[in-house]
Protein backbone atom coordinates (compact mmCIF):
# COMPACT_ATOMS: atom_id res chain seq x y z
CA UNK A 1 0.00 0.00 0.00
CA UNK A 2 1.31 3.43 -0.93
CA UNK A 3 1.41 6.18 1.66
CA UNK A 4 -1.07 9.01 1.36
CA UNK A 5 1.81 11.51 1.28
CA UNK A 6 3.39 9.78 -1.74
CA UNK A 7 0.12 9.57 -3.66
CA UNK A 8 -0.49 13.26 -2.91
CA UNK A 9 2.74 14.37 -4.66
CA UNK A 10 2.42 12.05 -7.68
CA UNK A 11 0.99 13.39 -10.93
CA UNK A 12 0.00 11.83 -14.22
CA UNK A 13 2.90 12.24 -16.67
CA UNK A 14 0.47 12.79 -19.56
CA UNK A 15 -1.82 15.54 -18.20
CA UNK A 16 -0.13 16.45 -14.88
CA UNK A 17 -3.40 15.70 -13.06
CA UNK A 18 -3.82 14.00 -9.70
CA UNK A 19 -3.88 10.21 -9.49
CA UNK A 20 -6.11 8.04 -7.32
CA UNK A 21 -5.00 4.76 -5.74
CA UNK A 22 -6.79 1.58 -6.81
CA UNK A 23 -5.64 -0.63 -3.95
CA UNK A 24 -7.61 -3.69 -5.05
CA UNK A 25 -5.72 -3.59 -8.38
CA UNK A 26 -2.40 -2.31 -7.01
CA UNK A 27 -2.45 0.62 -9.42
CA UNK A 28 -2.92 4.37 -9.67
CA UNK A 29 -5.66 5.86 -11.84
CA UNK A 30 -5.70 9.20 -13.63
CA UNK A 31 -9.44 9.86 -14.07
CA UNK A 32 -9.11 12.66 -16.68
CA UNK A 33 -6.83 10.58 -18.95
CA UNK A 34 -8.27 7.18 -18.12
CA UNK A 35 -4.75 5.83 -17.61
CA UNK A 36 -4.01 3.19 -14.99
CA UNK A 37 -0.40 3.07 -13.80
CA UNK A 38 0.87 -0.15 -12.19
CA UNK A 39 2.47 -0.32 -8.77
CA UNK A 40 5.15 -3.01 -8.75
CA UNK A 41 6.74 -4.11 -5.47
CA UNK A 42 5.44 -0.92 -3.84
CA UNK A 43 6.90 1.36 -6.53
CA UNK A 44 4.57 3.36 -8.79
CA UNK A 45 5.55 3.01 -12.46
CA UNK A 46 4.60 6.45 -13.76
CA UNK A 47 5.44 5.88 -17.42
CA UNK A 48 2.84 6.42 -20.15
CA UNK A 49 4.22 3.44 -22.06
CA UNK A 50 3.58 1.20 -19.03
CA UNK A 51 0.09 2.54 -18.33
CA UNK A 52 -3.08 0.77 -19.33
CA UNK A 53 -5.74 2.90 -21.02
CA UNK A 54 -9.10 2.04 -19.49
CA UNK A 55 -11.03 -0.03 -22.00
CA UNK A 56 -7.83 -1.20 -23.77
CA UNK A 57 -6.31 -4.65 -23.54
CA UNK A 58 -2.71 -3.81 -22.78
CA UNK A 59 -0.10 -1.29 -21.65
CA UNK A 60 1.23 1.45 -23.87
CA UNK A 61 -1.73 1.49 -26.23
CA UNK A 62 -2.31 5.23 -26.01
CA UNK A 63 -1.51 7.78 -28.71
CA UNK A 64 2.28 8.21 -28.79
CA UNK A 65 2.02 11.83 -30.04
CA UNK A 66 -0.12 13.09 -27.18
CA UNK A 67 1.04 10.58 -24.59
CA UNK A 68 -2.52 9.47 -23.84
Average pLDDT over residues 5-14: 94
- Helix, strand, coil share of the chain (percent; to 5): 15, 30, 55
β-bridge partners, 43: 40
| pLDDT tens, position by position, 22-55 | 988 999 999 999 999 999 999 999 999 999 998 7
Asked whether the predicted pLDDT for residue 56 surpasses 80, the reply is no
Entry pTM: 0.76
Q: CA–CA separation, 15 vs 33, rounded Å? A: 7
Which domains, and CATH codes, for the chain?
Answer: 4-53 (2.20.25.10)
Q: What was the pLDDT predicted at 52?
A: 96
Question: 2 and 39 in contact (C-beta within 8 Å)?
Answer: yes
Q: Which residue has the higher pLDDT, 63 or 1?
A: 1
Q: What was the pLDDT predicted at 67?
A: 52
Amino acid sequence: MLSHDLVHILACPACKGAVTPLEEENALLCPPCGLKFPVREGIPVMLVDEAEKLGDQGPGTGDRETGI
